[in-house]
Structure 1
Amino acid sequence: MSGLRRRPQTGAGAGAAATAARAQALVVPTGRRSVAPAVVGLGLALAIVVLFGLGTPWGEVSVFGLNAGLRAAWQLPDLVVPSALGIYLAALVAAAVGAAYLRWPRLKGGTTVALAVTALVVAFLVWAVQGQSLNLVGMLRSTLLRATPIALAALSGVLCERAGVINIAIEGMMLTSALTAVVSASVTGSLVTGMLVAVLTGGLLALVHGALSIRYRVDQIVSGTVINIFATGLTSYLSARFLERFAHLNRSGTLPVVAIPGLADIPIIGPVLFQQSVIVYVMLALVIAVHVLLFKSRFGLRMRAVGEHPRAADTLGIDVWRTRYLSVLLGGMAAGVGGAYFTIGSVGRFDEVMTGGRGFIGLAAMIFGNWTPGGAFASSLIFGFADSLQIRMQILQTPIPSEFLLMAPYVATIVALSGVVGRVSPPAADGQPYEK
């Protein structure tokens, strides 16, 4: 019967077959689901056991303080954890989420990796604190404080890149704003004036970056690099030439720590969120404001349209250049607030190159947060936690060099970009100049 040929389907039969073929093409085979998150979870479980579990004696305990050291209405007892048991339980959690990812299709890869990494961090803390004590609430307060300039830099990047303009000049904007904030506050005796001058300084440099990259279509990376070099040289010169000779220009004082009545007395959460510096509250307010601006306002919709498809936005009557200018200006003002953190928000004086690359770290947090305000803030907390943790690990004299702790957030960013925890992608027109 090999010589017989099947007759082609016609009419309703052909239509049904075509529909079935299209439906089959839309079905994603479950066998093709990436196993990378599961491998990460199981691998971290093994790492916890080998690195921390095997060398920990069963008689040791790790003590974590749950009070911030400030007077509060409620005082919680310290959390005492058997070190070996806590480490092996963390390993069990990492292995369980890795296995659950293979068993439950609805469990996302990003959630799986996040839970496994959290288990790794918990195991590391229990291992590092064995036989000693660590004020956990104090470290969390420090985490939020140290994440503040990174979060502000990340918000600056989100505002710029959502409109299609890459801004690597955030570092220079923050550094220059830090100088102008302390000088203006020292001269006028007003920290509010210092904050306003810092915001204006960031906005002015942002307009320079906008003119170069939007109006004259200079390569945006080159424009940002030029501003960074200019800011580093200018602030270093002014600091050495004037601030060292006239010390009264470099003595501004710092923004106060404000405890919100009632909320500050909540155990654990109160000291972390509601007993902070004023600039921390400003940062939290900006995270909410930028989210509302981007996703709940007409201007935010236009900004995102310009960042994704500027020619289509222009066709609909949106002024692409004006939208990008305003977005870069807002981003520069956010960077200005971040610059004020380093002087009037923390130490009350200016030192050369005191931003220490926080602007670039903010860009990494922006990428890790997938160009969203909430994601950028959460990613900034990771960097702030690593920064706070490495200082406390030096006090506890752990055998792991502090540099490795500072490397961890950057490794996490690389993992995020590799697609293990899900897809992260910038706006489609990011970095592309637009010509009418």
Structure 2
Amino acid sequence: MTTVLTPTPPSPPPPASGPGTPSGSCRGTGWTPRWRRAAGPRWLWIAGGVLLVLAFARTLSGADQLTSSGTVSAALGATVPIAMAALGGMWAERAGVVNIGLEGMMILGTFGAGCIGWEHGPWAGLVAAVLFGAIGGLVHAVATVTFGVDHIVSGVAVNILGLGVTKYLAAELLEGTPGGGQSQSPPIGPVGRVSVPGIESALRPVENRHWFLVSDLAGLLRGLLTHISLFTLIAVALVALSAGILWRTPFGLRLRSCGEEPHAAETLGVNVYAYKYVAVMISGGLAGFGGAYLAEVAANIYREGQTGGRGYIGLASMIFGNWRPGGLAAGAGLFGYTDALQLRNAPAVHALLLVAAVLLAAVGAVTLLRWFRIPGAGGGGLAAVPSGTGDSDGDGDGGNGGEGGGEGANGVGGAVAGKAGKGGGRPRIAVIVACFVAAAGLATWYACTDSLPSQVVTATPYVTTLLVLAFASQRLRPPKADGLVYRRGEE
């Protein structure tokens, strides 16, 4: 018997670019979506789209507080503590240590700022808050790194200790002080604020005109560039500095290797224990900074229970941001915005139903468009989406923690599209249908009601947290060794 070997014909070349022909590449499909081909960072396009939706909702609903400078300024103030907690969580988890104790470390930070700041000034209070938070991080590191305690158990213990220790110390140190007591400190001196010259006078008239999109942009810029706390500027610098250190230095590479492959890092001479200790203490210090912001900027006084669960919301922001600085900053901004809106103007929260409806409809439309436009399949132009087309690996397109809000899981449209890209080349039509059905339901709810129950208004930030994490869950990739107990010399 003679076996005839037939050569495999070569693969046809990709179609040439031309009018009506997609060019570029998208995970091997030969097509790049138009919004990715366009010039400019992805986060800028996402931010512009969100602003456009908010402007549309403001015009349609008449809820001017949606994009007012006051709301933006309050949202920025609510964002900073959440972002600092999230950044602290990222430092710890990039080194392989889960830090559930961020809430307790923030509590320690608020007490340190109040106890020291009322007598020695806000800057001394800031230093004390960072040190108190770092001490909380040290306790967590000793338990998890040295003694191998389960990370969740240790974090919960730190939360309980933070609450109990501060209550005891407040009774011992603040009782009898002028204006202080067992549950609060005396007033703390104000922190300086700065403004960009000329912005206030130039943008105020434009914002008050209530022009579509133009006035919304003016309100956004006015809220971001006027009366900015110096602590806010430090927080922004810390986010950028963390991105640079962790993704641009040998120290950052070694620290991240401890969270990915600690035993491989050990064979290369990395002192894994030392890096974990440093990371968790930095994590605690950043959470303490967030506590100082609450005590010195948001309230000018320390009060018991001041954190209000922001350490846990910071954890959600970190997960939403896919353990990257830019993504967690975007997540903190989202949660801070909803928190500020429900505190400043409860009726404006009703307009968020319309905002959510428009965003869900846009997500469904984008996902459906990706399904129709990716070439390579028959059936009347419907193309099966190859696995991974939605960039569902969670690493983001840039691979850089400093690229801002467009990376990781923070693009909700990309997250849903990432879901559609899974399943062996078959898009999940249920996701598209769910987006349109939910959008229709929210729009109907908005049209049939004039306000929301107070319980719903109060729970808005927490509901937002759950919904966003549900949408982003398919794009998340935590560090490989996150939460695992490490022992030198053991595999």
TM-score by length of 1: 0.71
- Structure 1 counterpart of 2:458: 403
Which of 201, 216, 219 is the aligned partner of 2:147?
216
- Give the equivalent residue in structure 2 for 1:340: 292
Q: C-alpha distance in 1, partners of 2:2/2:128? A: 81
Distance between the aligned counterparts of 1:290 and 1:339, measured in 2? 19
- Mapping of residues 163-202 of structure 1, within 5 Å: 163-187=95-119, 189-202=120-133
CA distance in 1, matches of 2:65, 2:288: 38
Q: How does 1:24-173 map to 2 (within 5 A)?
A: 121-129=54-62, 136-173=68-105
How far off its partner does 1:271 sit?
4.3
Q: Is the 8 A contact 1:169 1:227 kept in 2?
A: yes
1:194-240: CA deviations, max 9, x gaps?
Answer: 11111111111111111110111110110010010111122234445
1:281 CA drift (Å): 1.1
CA distance in 1, matches of 2:282, 2:168: 28
Cα separation, 2, equivalents of 1:345 and 1:393: 21
**Is 1:204 the equivalent of 2:135?**
yes
> Does 2:479 match 1:416?
no
How far off its partner does 1:375 sit? 1.1
- Aligned pairs for 1:348-363 (under 5 A) are 348-363=300-315
C-alpha spacing 1:306/1:396, structure 2 compared with 1 (3 Å): closer
Q: 1:264/1:303 Cα in 2 relative to 1: closer, same or farther (>3 Å)? A: farther
Size of the aligned set, in residue pairs, is: 349
User: Do the aligned partners of 1:254 and 1:343 also contact (CA within 8 Å) in 2?
Assistant: no
In 2, the alpha carbon distance for the partners of 1:263 and 1:327 equals 41
1:298 & 1:105 partners in 2: Cα distance?
31
For 1:191 and 1:327, the matched residues in 2 are separated by 26
Offset of residue 115 of structure 1: 7.8
Contact kept? 1:175, 1:231, Cα under 8 Å: yes
Q: Separation in 1 of the partners of 2:482 and 2:348? A: 44
- What amino acid maps onto 1:403 in structure 2? T
Letter in 2 for 1:164: G
Distance 1:360 1:214 in 2: 22
Q: 1:117 to 1:280 in 2, by over 3 A?
A: closer
Deviation at 1:181, TM superposition (A): 1.3
Give the superposition deviation at 1:309. 0.8
**What is the one-letter code of the residue matched to 1:253?**
I
Work out the CA distance in 1 between the residues paired with 2:28 and 2:44.
Answer: 21
Structure 1 gap segments, 5+ residues each: 21-26, 34-99
Equivalent of 1:304 in 252, 256, 275: 256
Matched, 1:281 2:233: yes
The letter of the residue matching 2:468 is A
Give per-residue Cα distances to partners, 1:346-367, cap 9 Å, x unaligned. Answer: 2122222110000010010011
> Between Structure 1 and Structure 2, whose CA radius of gyration is higher?
1
Partner of 1:354, secondary structure, is coil
Classify the secondary structure of the residue corresponding to 1:157: helix
**C-alpha distance in 2, partners of 1:219/1:124?**
46
Which deviates further from its counterpart, 176-185 or 241-250? 241-250
> 2: distance between equivalents of 1:369 and 1:385?
16
Match of residue 477 from structure 2:
425
In the TM superposition, what is the alpha-carbon distance from 1:400 to its structure 2 partner?
A: 2.3
Gap change, CA 1:293 and 1:133, over 3 Å in 2:
closer
Deviation per CA, 1:235-292, whole angstroms, max 9, x where unpaired?
2344456535434551242443422453755744254135211211111111111111
1:435 aligned to 2:368?
A: no
Deviation of 1:379 after TM superposition, in Å, equals 1.0
What per-residue deviation string (whole Å, max 9, x for no partner) do you get for residues 374-415 of structure 1?
Answer: 111111100111111222332669502413532223311221
DSSP-derived class of the 1:150 partner: helix
Q: Structure 2 vs 1, CA of residues 395 and 197 (structure 1 numbering), >3 Å: closer, same or farther?
A: same
Does structure 1 conserve the Cα–Cα contact (< 8 Å) formed by 2:190 and 2:297? yes
Q: Where does residue 87 of structure 1 map in the other structure? A: none
| Shift in CA distance, 434/9, structure 1 to aligned 2, threshold 3 Å | same
Q: What is the SS of the residue equivalent to 1:370?
A: coil
Asked if 1:387 is matched to 2:329, the reply is: no
Give RMSD over aligned pairs: 3.5
- One-letter amino acid matched to 1:197: A
The letter of the residue matching 2:194 is A
Where structure 2 has 5 or more consecutive residues not aligned to the other structure, the ranges are: 12-25, 204-217, 351-450
Aligned equivalents of 1:121 and 1:404: distance in 2?
20
Counterpart-to-counterpart distance in 2, 1:234 and 1:431? 26
Instruction: Report the secondary structure of 1:285's partner residue.
Output: helix
Q: Which residue is 2:156 aligned to?
A: 225
